[in-house]
Amino acid sequence: MGQKIGESKSFFSACVHSSVSGKVMKVENYNHPLGNPVPAVTISNDGDDRVFPEIKKHKNPLSLNPEKIRHIVKDAGIVGLGGAAFPTAVKLSPPKDKPIDTIIINGCECEPVLTADHRLMLEYPDEIIQGAELVRIATGAEKIILGIENNKQDVYKLLQKKNYTFPLEISLLKTKYPQGAEKNLISALLKRVVPRGGLPFDVGVVVQNVGTVKAIWDAVNTGKPLYERALTVSGAGITSPKNLIVRIGSLFQNAIDYCGGLQDSANILVMGGPMMGLAQGTPDVPVIKGTSGILAWAEPEQITEHNCISCRRCVTHCPMGLVPTQLMKYSKLDYLSEAESWGIMDCVECGSCQYSCPAGIPLVHWLRVGKNKITDLKRKKSA
Amino acid sequence: MTNNRFILKSSPHFKGKDSVPKIMYAVIISLIPAIAASFYFFRIRALLIYLLSVSACLITEAVFLKARKKPMHSLWDGSAIITGLLLAMTLPPSLSLEIVVIGAVVSITLGKHVFGGLGDNIFNPALVGRAFLQVAFPVAMTTWIPPVTNQINTATYATPLGNLKFQAAAAQGALTPLKDLFWGNIGGCLGETSAVALLLGAAFLLYKRAIDWRIPVGIISILTVFTGIFWLTGPDKYASPAFHLLAGGLIIGAFFMATDMVTSPISPLGAWIYALGIGLLIGIIRLFGGFPEGVMFSILLMNTFVPLINRYTRPRILGERSTH
């Protein structure tokens, strides 16, 4: 358990570790929650959980130098656990010309229904805060801000009582979706605006999810690579919803069975949250590092679609300041240059527009179509 | 590998409860006080005009949906009913009934379906119908009767704005009292006369957030300033802003017609530009134009600018630098 079983030479990658102890049976394609089957290592679990002998503790984790921390994080295969699974080592290596002054720890649940981050903060506050301190050391930042939504008062009180000696600030935010989106979180906490097409680096910020910093602490403190994660198994279609710590590579079916199985009426299975999650055709897919939730419910009947009546609800709710209805029309008509100049590529697909659309128009779908067409066109041009 | 149990669809998987019919029926509910007021003031004439206008709109809508092979559920989305009601409310109570039907058919045909139906129309459909009638039947459209509750026996009864324009009422001190304008005990279009009934409905719409508050606020502000300046310089020649706000179609126009989502701008800045344009045009037409009333033409004119306004008032994208 914990042995490295997959690695890539690319900078934007993370290695994979075995989440059980046992024997490699085969390496062949297997279903993947993102769609197409990918090469996968099948390991027969001997159930002993014998830890790989090369895994060792680090003494005084908080006195390690930045280079060492980055190295451990990269070696432990840690990625952003909010859902996007961006390799964390990359985030800890800001460009030289962009000094980082603030670390933001994202304690806002990234989507409704998901509550795993909330549980983590209640059960592992010390690990999370110390992990954040490691990120601060690794990036040379001055302070840490933990942003949590004001519906998590229990966490707020718990952390207030702890009196950490780190340069830590705990900030309560309005509970809203998408509060946990990186750029919106930065503007809510610091009133800094990340330029279009830019990264948090550009405004001196690194954002890390609470699950990620806990994983960083675990890796640095105990040497444990990222082979398990917290996730929410929920929705009306799950018999007894739970937050679980699940080993990477376990099947959705295992997690669902552990939660009492599926209700008969359940007819949709989603990886992630209800707003951005990916519908799955089968529970025979593995939990991956980006699996923040497994949801199932009975989907209501198809809603009738009306014409857009320009009610502007999508405009009011777009966190990126876009005009989704206009982008939808441009995308439908293949007016790609107009779509681009109206900011279609800035869309984060949060789903707020479509949620609020009274006409029931699949706005996100049309925006995705437009974005894909533009990306394809650019790829062809550069090829 | 995929079994058929699970639906595959793209995110988001949750949907809010708002719907187009809900928004439309909120508008219909908001019109009820004004409709009730018109029953009170004009009795059976009011009932007949409303009935004919709404049913003619619905029938025309049904014919077009059928002919264009569009889903029939659109018939009951409420939009055709609103067009019928709003058209009826802007007609003189004495209008002969066949003209009402013509107006309704033109509203739906030229105001809505030639552009592609609900959502694609450029002009407010009810106002297109009314503008057509105004041009086609100028006499019938400017012949007024007093409300049943106001027993003035006069052959040539005029509206308060008509009095102001053609009888120099301001100079003679014969302006309609504000009290009558407020309650609606005056001559005028079917559903326009009672300011209080319309404001009641408007308050409901604002509370429901079914309309953009910037549009009525913008129209009313600019009209108050514009007419106020002239009133202060010559109170014997010009009527006060309060008179202008309560008389004619200003309230129904500002709250119920200019705010039509389909035909008004998308961005907040666009809404302000549009509203100021309407308010200013109303002031200019009422004070210097050939017609006593200018609400209809002002809204229709500004409707034509909406695509242009939308183009130049795109909201700022998050992280976008201001263009220098």
Domain ranges of chain A: 66-222, 228-297, 313-382
Q: CB contacts < 8 Å between A and B, how many?
A: 160
Fill in the amino acid letter for B188. G
Q: Please report the pLDDT score of residue B152 as a whole number.
A: 60
Q: Look-up: residue for tokens 């705010």?
A: B259
Output DSSP code: residue B10.
P
Q: Please report the pLDDT score of residue A157 as a whole number.
A: 93
Q: Please report the pLDDT score of residue B154 as a whole number.
A: 52
The structure's pTM equals 0.88
How large is the ipTM?
0.88
- Residue of A276, A311, A321 with shortest CB distance to B261: A311
CA distance B324 to B322: 6
Query: b or e along B93-123 (b: 16 or more beta carbons within 10 Å of the residue's beta carbon)?
Result: bebeeebbbbbbbbbbbbbbbeeebbbebbb
Q: Look-up: residue for tokens 């006369």?
A: B193
Q: Look-up: residue for tokens 């005028």?
A: B188
* CA distance, residue A130 to nearest chain B CA (Å): 32
Q: Please tell me the class of the A228-297 domain.
A: alpha beta
- Backbone phi, then psi, for A159, in 5-degree steps? -70, -35
Query: Quick check: B266 and A358 CB within 8 A?
Result: no
pLDDT by residue, tens only, chain A of 383 residues: 888 888 888 878 889 999 999 999 999 999 999 888 999 999 999 988 888 888 888 888 898 999 999 999 999 999 999 877 889 999 998 888 999 999 999 998 888 899 999 999 999 999 999 999 999 999 999 999 999 999 999 999 999 998 888 999 999 999 988 888 889 999 999 999 999 988 999 999 999 999 999 999 999 999 999 999 999 999 999 999 999 999 999 999 999 999 999 999 999 999 999 999 999 999 999 999 999 999 999 988 777 899 999 999 999 999 999 999 999 999 999 999 999 999 999 999 999 999 999 999 999 999 999 999 999 999 998 87
pLDDT digits 0-9 by tens, B158-175: 788 888 887 776 666 677
A307, A320, A341, A363: best mutation site toward chain B, by most B Cβ within 10 Å? A307
- CA atoms in the 13 A half-sphere facing the CB of A187: 13
Query: Quick check: A323 and B314 CB within 8 A?
Result: yes
Q: Please report the pLDDT score of residue B1 as a whole number.
A: 43
Among chain B, residues having any CB pair with chain A shorter than 8 Å are 1-3, 5-16, 18-20, 22-23, 71, 73-74, 77, 79, 117-120, 212, 261-262, 264, 266-267, 310, 314-321
Q: Please report the pLDDT score of residue A33 as a whole number.
A: 92
Q: Could you check whether the bond before residue A99 is cis, i.e. omega within 30 degrees of 0?
A: no
Q: Is the pLDDT of residue B322 over 70?
A: no
CA distance A67 to A137: 10
Query: Quick check: B319 and A323 CB within 8 A?
Result: no
A177, A183, A196, A310: best mutation site toward chain B, by most B Cβ within 10 Å? A310
Burial of B10 (0-12, 13-18, 19+ CB in 10 A): middle
pLDDT digits 0-9 by tens, B215-273: 999 999 999 999 999 999 988 889 999 999 998 899 999 999 999 999 999 999 999 99
Q: What is the mean pLDDT of chain B?
A: 90
Fold that domain A66-222 belongs to in CATH: Rossmann fold (3.40.50)
Nearest to A113 by CA among B14, B9, B217: B14
Q: pLDDT confidence of B156, banded at 50, 70, 90?
A: low
Strand order of the sheet with strand A293-297? A242-247, A228-234, A293-297, A268-271, A278-280
pLDDT > 90 in chain B, percent: 69
- In angstroms, the first-to-last Cα distance of chain B is 56
Question: Chain B within 8 Å of A328 (Cβ-Cβ)?
Answer: no
Angle at B297 between CA B296 and CA B298, to 5 degrees: 95
Angle at A102 between CA A96 and CA A104, to 5 degrees: 120
Query: Quick check: B12 and A355 CB within 8 A?
Result: yes
Angle at A48 between CA A45 and CA A50, to 5 degrees: 100
Mean pLDDT of B103-117: 95
Strand partners, A238: A262
